[in-house]
Amino acid sequence: MNSKKVSSPEDANQIVQTVLDLNNEAVEKFGILTLDSRNVVAGIHVLAIGTLNAELIHPREVFKAAILNNAASIVLFHNHPSGDPTPSEEDIEITQRIVEAGHLMMIEVLDHIITGDGKYCSMAEQGLLNRGQSEPEK
């Protein structure tokens, strides 16, 4: 991976686009970036291809790849072939389920990047990663 570090949603989007070029895909692809403790990319994994729904994206598959890469954290990604990177309600629900599983596994979900038509949406920047959950006390 040439020691690519993820310091921002833009970094994550650039890495995904460089490797997979999701903007030119006719079908949805869902995957993860696995990151080490310094947020350096350890791997890129495409986990599902086709119409994405809650049954297709299972936290078990997400965290299997993360554990096998000894990841400290992950960034989820997928594309919208329609070109509109706005998260759907199902995108939000799937992400919430994976974030909750990540808490149990102690593997942080840093973001979910959705791409479409040369644009991207960061669910972290939109405040959608912990929707409905209270933030832990610091």
In angstroms, rounded to a whole number, what is the distance separating the alpha carbons of residues 75 and 41? 10
Domains of the chain: 9-122 (3.40.140.10)
State pLDDT tens for residues 28-40: 999 999 999 999 9
Which tokens hold the place of 123? 């669910």
pLDDT tens digits, one per residue of 43-65 = 999 998 887 666 578 899 999 99
Does this model's pTM top 0.75?
A: yes
**23 has pLDDT over 80:** no
